[in-house]
Amino acid sequence: MRRYSVLDLAPVPQGAEPATAFHNSRDLAQHAEAWGYHRFWLAEHHNMPGIASAATAVVIGHVAAGTRTIRVGAGGIMLPNHAPLMVAEQFGTLNALFPGRIDLGLGRAPGTDMRTARALRRNLQGDADSFPHDVVELQGWFAPVQPGQAVQAVPGGGMEIPIWLLGSSLYSAQLAAALGLPFAFASHFAPGMMMQALEIYREGFRPSATLDKPYAMAGLNVVAAETDAEAQRLFTSLQQQFLNLRRGTPGKLPPPAEDVAALQQEARLAGVDHSLACSAVGGPETVRHQIARFAEQTGVDEVMITAQIFDHTARLRSFELTAEVCRTLVAGQVAA
């Protein structure tokens, strides 16, 4: 049975500060738990004024402390920015505080520009080329502690924390298949290689101690409202955010555009439509058809839903409407 989950980018709207984003993320997680979403992930980004989750493990702890049952995790931690032992300690700590609810998704990109990546790491040694080694090393820190082991992850050693590999290309799909790990594709902003990556992952998958068959997830932007027109208006905040990224001027999440048609034309000309091709935008019935088509096209085990919406109340309503849609889709699966 397909699952539906939430990816929260902890958006900082124009006129607000990160503290507002943290409050809103926790509030959204609490509602997502009540609405039946399976997991709630946050992602590591740096030097992005509109995304507040740079200290991802800290924000995960904040969200997990405000919820009771929903899985909470990283989608993802950009492993080249960190020593594997430090990641093991951070997520071992989270798992000790919130047993059985913590996920750890790993990416190989820096989650920022190269200048900021250098500031994060001091140098770029240990870059993405060492990613497979770092993943295996991280797995080792979570393994049961052996007698006489000189260095341990405390806490972390002996903990069963699900590790996911994330990607927007074919590389992580191949690695996830080789290591027998679950795989999540970032189709919500980089859909180009989605189908090929999913095929490579499924065909090359080797069972592991943690997973006996492939388990794939794909990201989908979903903006739902009472009408198609209102959803399209709300969606212009994300389109503007991507336009600003293309211009090299990232900023806080802007309010919806006044001239929706003009903004949509500009987005098409700038190629934003291609980046956001995996999106479901509209009233409940429109969104239901679009999510169902995406799920059928990809065949994924889980759809990770994200929504960059300026107004928090409208964002909550979007996820509520989407949850209602997802329940009908799951019920249809069960009936079939």
Write the pLDDT tens digit of every residue in 280-304.
999 999 999 999 999 999 999 999 9
Structure pTM?
0.95
Q: Is the residue at 17 inside a domain? A: yes
- Using the 3D structure, point to which of 120, 135, 161 is the last residue of a domain: 161
What whole-number distance in Å separates Cα of residue 42 and Cα of residue 56?
A: 7
- Looking at the structure, do residues 9 and 151 belong to the same domain, yes or no? yes
Contact 221, 278 (CB under 8 A): yes
pLDDT at 52: 97
257 occurs within a structural domain: yes
Residue pointed to by tokens 């699900």 = 162
Helix (H) or strand (E) run with residue 313 in it: helix 312-335
| CB 73, CB 56: distance < 8 Å | no
The predicted structure's pLDDT at residue 28: 98
Q: What one-character-per-residue DSSP string does 9-56 give?
A: --B-BTT--HHHHHHHHHHHHHHHHHHT-SEEEE----S-TTB--SSH
Same domain? For 153 and 233 the reply is no
CA-angle at 101, arms to 95 and 106, nearest 5°: 75
Q: Using CA atoms, how far apart are residues 123 and 183, in angstroms rounded to an integer?
A: 29
CA 265 to chain centre: 28
Which residue did the predictor score with more confidence, 121 or 267? 267
Q: How many CB atoms lie within 10 A of CB 281?
A: 22
**To the nearest whole percent, how much of the chain has pLDDT over 90?**
87
Q: Considering just the CA atoms, what is the radius of gyration of the chain in Å?
A: 19
212, part of any domain: no
User: Which stretch of DSSP H or E encloses residue 103?
Assistant: strand 102-107
Residues 6+ apart with CB under 8 A from 23: none
> How many alpha carbons lie under 13 Å from residue 19 in its C-beta half-sphere?
0
DSSP single-letter state for residue 129: G
| Residue 129 pLDDT exceeds 80 | no
β-sheet bridge partners, residue 7:
41
Of 111, 141, 161, which residue constitutes the final position of a domain? 161
From 139-143, 209-213, 245-249, 317-321, the region with the lowest mean pLDDT: 245-249
238 and 129 inside one domain = no
Structure tokens at 296: 């059928």
If you average pLDDT over every residue of the chain, what do you get?
Answer: 94
Q: What is the pLDDT of residues 265-281, one digit of tens each?
A: 998 888 999 999 999 99
**Domain that includes residue 230, residue range:** 219-300+311-336
Q: State whether residue 307 is helix, strand or coil.
A: coil
Q: Is 187 contained in some domain?
A: no
**Last residue in a domain, options 161, 180, 211:** 161
What's the mean pLDDT in 219-248? 96
Give one DSSP letter per residue of 208-255, joined into a string: -SS-SS--EEEEEEEEE-SSHHHHHHHHHHHHHHHHHHHTT---SBPP
In tens, the pLDDT along 53-78 reads 999 999 999 999 999 999 999 999 99
Residue 335: per-residue pLDDT: 67
Q: Establish if 190 belongs to a structural domain.
A: no
User: What's the average model confidence in pLDDT over 76-91?
Assistant: 95
- Indicate whether 328 pLDDT > 60: yes
- Is residue 114 predicted with pLDDT exceeding 80? no
Q: Which pair of tokens denotes residue 329?
A: 């889709």
156 and 253 inside one domain: no
Q: For position 82, what pLDDT does the model report?
A: 92
Comparing CA positions, the residue from 133, 120, 43 lying closest to residue 81 is: 120
pLDDT of residue 109: 78
- CATH value at residue 138: 3.20.20.30
Cα 181 to Cα 177: distance, rounded to the nearest angstrom: 6
Residue 118: the pLDDT is 72
Mean pLDDT on 112-138: 74
Same domain, 252 and 320: yes
Report how many domains make up the chain.
2
Exposure string of 37-69, with b = 16+ CB inside 10 Å and e = fewer, is bbbbbbbbbbebebbbbbebbebbbbbbeebee
The residue length of the chain stands at 336
Q: What is the pLDDT of residue 115?
A: 74
Residue 214 within any structural domain of the chain: no
| Beta carbons of 125 and 204 less than 8 angstroms apart | no
Tell whether the torsion through CA atoms of 152, 155, 158 and 160 is positive or negative: negative
